[in-house]
Chain A
């Protein structure tokens, strides 16, 4: 019966949000616009240049769309972690600890930011547009890759979110830092990473595995060589990287909660 708990918690949250229908509708529209606004930046950029880091407009849009969809899904589940300082300050975190469930899934299901569906919708629309306008040599494997990429990306972003927000257990107002990492990495991964300087690239590819959200899978999909020299199969490893990131995030969270309860320090 336990496996049915979390869907129920999510369902409860959805019902609460729908009790504020108007604000949901407004948020939804705002999110679609916000997502579109970022796209306009790319389009304006391409009125001045023909290629960015060797990628055409539609190729960049594809990366941007992958990143946007992944981030939207991650935000749906992990975005609640932004409220962690409030949970800690008001003692609501103690209520989570009082229940016979793990704390991280409880927080993730405590609030579903439905309005983020606006962002996801926007990103998916751009994704389909870009996919129709870039040269892809389609195969069943590549279809699978297209489907898995936003999912793996969402897991990677969520892991980053969990790790970044864990800092709030030490510095209660660590939210600004956490947001810089989470929203920052979204902005970062929306572009081909070879446009960035080497240290930043290295950080994004291997420390915060943001390059695996959109950049490497897009290369594999487009059948392009990595301008940075990594072999072609790297683009297929995002699900693996995602699993690894999730594992690391779970460990960090566990360590952080231990610190909160008094054994980790």
Chain B
């Protein structure tokens, strides 16, 4: 679906010193390589200015790469921008493609003409989105009067009316309240699993990734730091997992080889144990623990995704320092 090889994009930035104007070349995307297969759902994350949006703009044909190879749906986006536009859907969380002063429905009608969708297909797709996203009440309201959550659902519907095989979302949940976010995620997850639409989304909200994307790509300073299933990345950068046990009676932490007791709480009622996932499984550990102490409750805690990403950055910084 997407094939990216050594993709680079530079910008000339003007820096003025007094009256003199100098141009400095900034590399926003610096040799990025990845593939996305049809039907995948990929999260593309990184801090502000990491190169996420620039990559998205190159994938959608808005910007032309400085160098490197890039195909989306078998097409070179910068050369066949309009052909590609018919086959992909794009949602920018921070800008609208709807007609501000017109009822939401009018925007959908216009998009039908723009993308040359038959009336029948349009009807069917619109009805489906309206139902799943709960847009019935909003169709006749001018876009400028919609809430952000309603507008975002409208934007996503707008991007799907021509049945794209790939949906690219740039910060789709930005600024939404929890309920709206959840609704959107549910819809997108369904779109991916049931209809097989490929998803590529950038986000700052790591819950989006956890919920939607089996695969995570982390980018910083224009380079891909990590690419893989969320679980694997977690295992790689945080090899330790944590087991939290609540005892029936206060007491010392159970002593199991290969396990470190990090801290205890509530006067010895709760203990935090860490273990390396390469050496032991949670099941083995639990069997050993319940043999020693009487356990009231226990939970295996996975490291937070934020921690994973922070560690990936740190690892990259360390590597750079060694070079």
| Complex contact A100–B83 (CB within 8 A) | yes
Scan B97-125; emit 1 where CB is below 8 A from any A CB, else 0.
10111100010011001111000000000
A197 at the interface (CB under 8 A from B): no
Given A1-B113, A5-B113, A12-B99, decide whether A261 and B64 contact each other with a Cβ distance below 8 A: yes
Known contacts A100-B83, A262-B66; is A90 also within 8 Å of B102 by CB? Answer: no
Does A2 lie at the interface of the complex (its beta carbon under 8 Å from any beta carbon of B)? yes
Beyond A16-B99, A19-B101, whether A263 also contacts B82 by CB under 8 A is no
Tell me the nearest residue of chain B to A258, going by C-beta.
B64
Looking at the complex, which of B54-62, B272-280, B315-323 is the stretch in contact with chain A? B54-62
How many chain A residues touch B (CB < 8 A): the figure is 28
Q: Are B99 and A98 in contact (CB under 8 A)?
A: no
Chain B: number of interface residues, binned into ranges: 20 to 34
A98 nearest CB across to chain B (Å): 5
Bound CA span A8–B66, Å: 37
B174 to chain A, nearest CB (A): 14
Which residues of chain B have C-beta atoms less than 8 A from A102's C-beta? 82
How many A-B contacts if CB must be within 8 Å? Answer: 73
The residues of B with any CB-CB pair to A shorter than 8 Å are: 9, 12, 57, 60-66, 78, 81-83, 85-86, 90, 92, 94-97, 99-102, 106, 109-110, 113-116, 142
Closest chain-A Cβ to B29's Cβ sits at a distance in Å of: 11
Query: Nearest residue in B to A17 (C-beta to C-beta)?
Result: B101
Assess the B110–A8 pair: CB atoms within 8 A. Answer: yes
Partner of B90, one of A8, A16, A17, A98: A98
When each residue 59-103 of chain A gets 1 if its CB lies under 8 Å from chain B and 0 otherwise, what string results? 000000000000000000000000000000011101101111110
The 10 closest A-B pairs by CB, nearest first: A16-B101, A100-B85, A262-B64, A100-B82, A97-B62, A263-B64, A100-B86, A5-B113, A261-B64, A91-B95
Query: Is A94's CB under 8 angstroms from B114's CB?
Result: no
Tell me the chain A residues, 85-132 only, with Cβ under 8 Å from chain B: 90-92, 94-95, 97-102
Tell me whether B101 and A94 are in contact (CB under 8 A).
no
Q: In the complex the two chains form, is B113's CB within 8 Å of A91's CB?
A: no
